[in-house]
Structure 1
Amino acid sequence: MPELCLVCWVLLLGLAQACPEACDCGEKYGFQIADCAYRDLEAVPPGFPANVTTLSLSANRLPALPEGAFREAPLLQSLWLAHNQIRVVAAGALAPLGHLKSLDLSHNLISDFAWADLHALHALQLLKMDSNELDFIPRDAFRSLGALRSLQLNHNRLHTLAEGTFAPLAALSHLQINDNPFDCTCGILWFKAWALATAVSIPERDNIACSSPHVLKGTPLGRLPPLPCSAPSVQLSYQPSQDGAELRPGFVLALHCDVDGQPAPQLRWHIQTPRGSVEIASPNVDADGRVLPSALAADGQPRFQAFANGSLLIPDFGKPEEGIYSCLATNELGSAESSVNVALATPGEGGEDALGRRFNGKAVEGKGCYTVDNEVQPSGPEDNVVIIYLSRAGTPEAAVVKAGGPEQRLPGLLWLAQSLLLLFLTCTCF
């Protein structure tokens, strides 16, 4: 047994004395230090002592930090990597360093950074990422850095910041973020308000300035004039062409999403049907009314047609098109959504009774309900159901559909006839 213990101590001593050939290792002020700066290194060398707490790799020629680059040094508290040529920090390069308190990645070329690795660095107090090529920071990048005191992001390529980016940094006392090419649009106004109200020290405030738009170029963020901004709002509606109109099988369902907000929101549709989910992020019908290839189903026929004015048409509505139709609008200030649930039934299937039960159920709850015959404006999928009833066959004729926006004439696609009864019912509760 004594011999075994001696072997263990020898092995431990050997680990403590290990050091890469290109580096100098030793103890100073109670810290185990590995100095590998100014060695023209092009990769992180192997062979560090397991108990090293401070590692300097500054002023080398490292092009990247791969996964597991510091696996041999799990007790690191300080890591200095400034003045290299690092472009990429891969996922898993920094995550194992749960004891890290100081990290210097400044004066590199970093554009691709594994932000999720920061979630494991709960002890981090200093983070220097200035003088890089960063153009984006995820909203939750700093969510686990409650101990961080100093953050340096100056001299990067940041155009905007997600609202609440710095909210998790409860201990933050120093922030450098000057000399970034900020787009001074509505999405940056929260940062102006936060910077004016925070107790965090923010030096060189006049150099936190607008790069665009041109009329505001050079304007310090703190002196940015009021901008006409508003979060998105949406109103999803549909208009039967006339009460009690009868249509032949394969009729058209028309929805319209009326969107408001500044800057102009981006509109997309989310459709959930028995066939699965469909996302439409941009118009698939051009300004001349021609259907783009992206709107065509496998049989070459258009299934969903999205227009630039916010209208959505289903040219051949049937059971496979039943489901929830959602209109979503997003701009720099937020998002809004409105949905409607569309069902198809034939007389005698009990659809009318089912809708009646919905009315009666809401009445029991003490909520008022009403029907709108000509125009329906739902606010959500739960209390808004469109039930379409089918009747007999008939002869088609050309149709013009108005869906809450500019008139859309659909030659050769949309036909009205006196054959199917189109009945729109909704229950709006208050």
Structure 2
Amino acid sequence: MAPGAPAFLLLLLLPLPRSPPCAVGCPNNCRCYSATVECGALRLRAVPSGIPAGTQTLFLQDNSIEHLEPGVLAPLAALRHLYLHNNSLRALEPGAFRTQPRLLELALTGNRLQGLRTGAFAGLSQLRILYLAGNQLVQLLDFTFLHLPRLQELHLQENSIELLEDQALSGLSSLALLDLSRNQLGTISREVLQPLASLQVLRLTENPWRCDCALLWLGVWIKAGGQRLLSSRDKKIVCAEPPRLALQSLLEVSGSSLICIPPSVHVEPLEVTANLGEDLRVACQASGYPQPLVTWRKVAQPREGPRRTQAPPAGRAQGQRGPGAPDTGSGMLFLTNVTPAHAGRYECEAANAGGAARAPFQLRVNASQAPPPAPAGPGPRAPPREAGSMAFRALGLATQTAVAAAIALLALTALLLAAAICRRRRRGTKARAPPGQGASFVSDYADGPCTFAQLEELRGERGHEMFVIDRSKPLFAEGAAAEAARGRRPPPPPPPPPPPRAYDLRC
């Protein structure tokens, strides 16, 4: 170019500076630089939109995110580090991180996770560090971390974990650090730690350990070589129960002191015959130490999954559990709206680390009888069931026929009894009638006339039905008025009122 060329032409020939990946776009109020997006402490309730696809590190900590919407992380396939700690996440849907195959570090500390579903970490085949501390986890189910073959650190401290199923840590063959401190673990099985072939650091302190025969293996394992995994602080595995071993170190307790009481089980009643439609509840009392797990199963149908119930130890709810008293569990078998399919043989099993015990129970179903009506309490008697009522229509055809026949028979008996009483009265009064006068219903042994209109049904003290006279009712009022209207004779004057008597058994 000529020496006299304008200076601005020289500027046009210079190469333009390359923009960083995040300069293309950045979510509102977030800070973006290089391949990092920082959106912490912005009171966000959801993952913001507009995050560049090339982001490798995403900070979303200290917000109020409650849910990861399906597909919200799908555009972020390049993520290496994701920080979601101190939010309000309550659950992780299966496959929530399926589109992050390069993710190395995931921080979920300080959320409200109460459980982890199988498949929640599917797709994270390269994940190295997983932070789950400070949540509300209560148990870890089998195969929860199956999709994390390269995970090296798993932080589960400061939760409320009471149970680790035997295969909960299956698949973690590369795990080097496992932190289970400050939870609610009372025991842990040998099978839980078997998949951890690369384990280097194990933290188990500050748990309410129950030092019984189920924990004997842990003390033996630590003394045999597992102590290399524990720091000087982590070796202080302190017993919380039984009371005689409380506050003692597991490593200082002799193996003969780590005992269990095998369970015993009792079912009451052993046999029941239930009517169709009834609700049934059967108690299974189990005792032993540690607290037995009570399982009900139907023997005739082994494919059905067992119904497990584990009740708190007796006396614990009332705070009356004495020193050294064994735990006593109780399980209830609940059956609602009993049908013929419920009939058969059941079995209650109580199991703990000391063994198992079983008790049978037999259920028979009376297919021809509906459940009886509930007994009437104190107060007025309920009216008889009407044939058109909804409850009556719900009965079977045979039962409806029997009820209708009983009602008809009762009404016929009442009519026949009333007719017999009045016929006897007529025969007695005709014999004593003065000459020239018609028969009267007045008798020598009655206080006044007796008619069918004055007979009422009354149930005695022992439940017997009888007919009595009600003197307050009118006597042939309609018949006397009709004769007066036809002019035959004036109606006779009313008899003097009888002495006050509510009911008179003489007729």
- TM-score w.r.t. length of structure 1: 0.50
Measure, in 1, the Cα distance between the counterparts of 2:307 and 2:67. Answer: 45
Measure, in 2, the Cα distance between the counterparts of 1:42 and 1:276. Answer: 39
Match of 2:211 among 161, 179, 184: 184
Tell whether 2:57 aligns with 1:33: yes
Match of 1:332 among 349, 353, 356: 353
**Structure 2 residue aligned with 1:209:** 238
Match of 2:165 among 138, 150, 163: 138
What do the CA deviations read for 1:229-272 (whole angstroms, capped 9, x no partner)?
Answer: 479799xxxxxxxxxxxxxxxxxxxxxxxxxx987988989886
- Aligned-residue offset at 1:57: 1.0
RMSD over aligned CA atoms reads 4.8
- Aligned-residue offset at 1:134: 0.9
- Aligned-residue offset at 1:188: 1.2
Tell whether 2:109 aligns with 1:82: yes
Tell whether 2:191 aligns with 1:156: no
Contact 1:58/1:84 (<8 A) preserved:
yes
Contact 1:25/1:34 (<8 A) preserved:
no
What do the CA deviations read for 1:20-59 (whole angstroms, capped 9, x no partner)?
Answer: 666857548x992112223343334724521112111122
SS for the counterpart of 1:117 is coil
The change in CA–CA distance for 1:266 and 1:175 in structure 2 (over 3 A counts) is closer
Contact 2:263/2:352 (<8 A) preserved:
no
Match of 2:252 among 212, 223, 237: 223
Corresponding residue pairs, total = 273
Measure, in 1, the Cα distance between the counterparts of 2:174 and 2:333. Answer: 53
What do the CA deviations read for 1:310-340 (whole angstroms, capped 9, x no partner)?
Answer: xxxxxxxxxx99xxx9998843156699xxx
Contact 2:176/2:200 (<8 A) preserved:
yes
SS for the counterpart of 1:187 is helix
Aligned AA (1:38): D
Q: Which moved more, 1:32-41 or 1:48-57?
A: 32-41
Measure, in 2, the Cα distance between the counterparts of 1:131 and 1:276. Answer: 39
Q: Which moved more, 1:13-22 or 1:215-224?
A: 13-22
Contact 1:23/1:34 (<8 A) preserved:
no
Measure, in 1, the Cα distance between the counterparts of 2:94 and 2:213. Answer: 38
Match of 1:56 among 62, 83, 95: 83
Measure, in 1, the Cα distance between the counterparts of 2:81 and 2:27. Answer: 14
SS for the counterpart of 1:175 is strand
SS for the counterpart of 1:215 is helix
Aligned AA (1:144): G
Aligned AA (2:62): Y
Match of 2:134 among 107, 114, 125: 107
Contact 1:87/1:109 (<8 A) preserved:
yes
Aligned AA (1:121): L
The change in CA–CA distance for 1:107 and 1:17 in structure 2 (over 3 A counts) is farther
**Structure 1 residue aligned with 2:119:** 92
Q: How does 1:176-325 map to 2 (within 5 A)?
A: 176-199=203-226, 200-203=228-231, 204-205=233-234, 207-225=236-254, 226-227=256-257, 229=259
- TM-score w.r.t. length of structure 2: 0.44
Measure, in 2, the Cα distance between the counterparts of 1:277 and 1:70. Answer: 34
Measure, in 1, the Cα distance between the counterparts of 2:63 and 2:306. Answer: 53
What do the CA deviations read for 1:163-222 (whole angstroms, capped 9, x no partner)?
Answer: 332121110000111001111121111111122223442132354211111222211111
Q: Name the structure, 1 or 2, with higher relative contact order (CA <8 Å, separation 6+).
A: 1
**Structure 2 residue aligned with 1:412:** none
- Aligned-residue offset at 1:104: 0.5
- Aligned-residue offset at 1:151: 0.4
Aligned AA (1:92): G
Percent identity of equivalent pairs? 27
Contact 1:86/1:110 (<8 A) preserved:
yes
Measure, in 1, the Cα distance between the counterparts of 2:64 and 2:303. Answer: 56
Contact 1:16/1:49 (<8 A) preserved:
no
Aligned AA (2:257): L
SS for the counterpart of 2:95 is coil
Aligned AA (2:157): D
Contact 2:216/2:258 (<8 A) preserved:
no
The change in CA–CA distance for 1:69 and 1:229 in structure 2 (over 3 A counts) is same
Aligned AA (1:136): L
Aligned AA (1:34): L
Measure, in 1, the Cα distance between the counterparts of 2:196 and 2:122. Answer: 19
Contact 1:52/1:75 (<8 A) preserved:
yes
Contact 2:21/2:34 (<8 A) preserved:
no
- Aligned-residue offset at 1:66: 2.9
**Structure 2 residue aligned with 1:400:** none
Aligned AA (1:224): V
Q: Which has the larger radius of gyration?
A: 2
Aligned AA (2:82): L
Contact 2:211/2:242 (<8 A) preserved:
yes
Measure, in 2, the Cα distance between the counterparts of 1:77 and 1:201. Answer: 24
The change in CA–CA distance for 1:25 and 1:330 in structure 2 (over 3 A counts) is farther
What do the CA deviations read for 1:359-412 (whole angstroms, capped 9, x no partner)?
Answer: xxxxxxxxxxxxxxxxxxxxxxxxxxxxxxxxxxxxxxxxxxxxxxxxxxxxxx
Measure, in 1, the Cα distance between the counterparts of 2:141 and 2:26. Answer: 28
Aligned AA (1:127): L
